[in-house]
Amino acid sequence: IVGNEAKNRGRSARRREALAIRAAAADPGDAVPSPEAAALRDEERTSLLEAIGRLPERDRLVLGYRYYFDLTEAEMAEALDCRPGTIKSRLSRAMAHLRNQLGEDG
């Protein structure tokens, strides 16, 4: 049940992230950014989301729990039914994989 719930939340988080990207492009709270700056910001966000999408599900899950749901290591360990040390190593590996993906993209 927890795994399915995590997958569902991950899907909805990706949809919300895509919506947030579109909304950020039209953010009236900022001073009007130059078109070049807005294009670069959108390109960086798109690159990040694409890199996350290419990661294995296990990596996406641990990154999603940590950075989208803002769970602590203890909460993540409970949700994934593993030890906190395992969560630390999975998170570290997932971040390394993400850095590699972003490095390949330039």
pLDDT tens digit sequence for 57-93: 889 889 989 988 889 999 999 988 999 999 999 999 9
- Find the mean pLDDT for residues 23-39: 65
What is the C-alpha separation between 81 and 10, in angstroms, rounded?
Answer: 18
**Burial level of 69, CB count in 10 A (0-12/13-18/19+)?**
middle
Return all residues near 88 (Cβ < 8 A) that are at least 6 apart: 73
Q: Is the pLDDT of residue 27 over 70?
A: no
Model confidence, pTM: 0.60
Q: Write down the residue that tokens 């409970």 correspond to.
A: 78
